[in-house]
Structure formats: C-alpha cells, structure tokens
Structure 1
C-alpha cells in the first residue's frame, strides 16, 4: 500500500524562531499520543501554535478516513515568513526601525 502524506501549514506565526525550533526538535522524538499530552499540559506560546497545527493536520487525516493511531510524523520544519517593519520615533528628528519577524510552520504526517 502506498504511503499517504497529509500536510498542514500555519502561516505568519508571531513567535521566535529559536523557541519554535527547540520545541520542534523535542517533538520529533516522540509519537503522536505523547505529543498531544505534552502540548496540552504546557502553557508556552510556541506550544499553542504547535498544538493548533497538529490538530489541523489530524483533522485533515480523519476527513480522509485515516485512523489516529496509524499516523506518524513524516517531517516538520520552520521557514521565514513576513517581516513587518515599524518606525519608532526618536529625539532630534531621527527614528529607529523595529522588525517584527514571523515564521511559517509546515507539518507532514504519514500513514502506513
């Protein structure tokens, strides 16, 4: 039987790259059941976004008729998203530029 790959994307996440990368490296080592338990127990900003994308991807799989127990993480990665540039006024007519960097999370679950 051919492997089915279910994908899900979460765009423009306002969370730092380092925090997301650290938690994704932790998640890659575990199975789906323990991931859900861990994501629901912790109260971190990055876990909120990771929980959201996992629920979305699993609902996509259930709509295709795939059982929850058969799913495994195929790959998960982060890429750079939009950069929002803001201007902060300073003294003597000068200004500082503030960059708000967002990230994109991509999750692939495999079946089989």
Structure 2
C-alpha cells in the first residue's frame, strides 16, 4: 500500500496559484505604466530622452525633433557626448551620468 500526503500537494498548488496571480498583477501594472509613459512621452512638449552611459540616445520623444530640428532617425544615431565641445564639461557629464545610473544624483 502507498500513501501520498495530499496536504503538501494542496499547499504547493495554492502557492503556485498565488504566485501566478501576483505575476499577473505585476504584468498588468507594468502594462499600465508603459501605457502611461507612452501617453506622456507622445503628448509632452518637453523632450524626454533615455541616454546610455556612453551618451548614446536610446529613446527620444517625438517632441525632440521639433525642439532640436533634427529628424528622429538622425537623433538616434547621435552620441550626445560628441555634441559637448569642451573636454572638461564632457567629463563632468560622463561622471554625472554614471552617478545617476548608480542612483546617486550628484553632478
């Protein structure tokens, strides 16, 4: 005769259901936040950008073209550090970006 502890199986099933529900809620929240960001970025008159540590533009809102006069495609090819003529200023910007990526907002 073989006995199976069904209480353990039932607890695992409940835990899986709870984790599935939590994961679904996280996906819904992420989708809502993505939609909100997209709405704000597409309707803002301000230029909203995402820039990597090397100064490469990863995202620029549609208003960026209106503000800078450059087409979106051209902007995405640009490195913003190349647009800073003074080497001292360039180093300060690089340091500021690195600090902001680490969560330290000092310039």
Q: TM-score range by the shorter chain?
A: under 0.3
Write 1 or 2 for the structure with the bigger share of helix: 2
Q: Which has the higher contact order (CA 8 A, sep 6+)?
A: 1
Q: Which has the higher strand share?
A: 1
TM-score, scaled relative to structure 1: 0.22
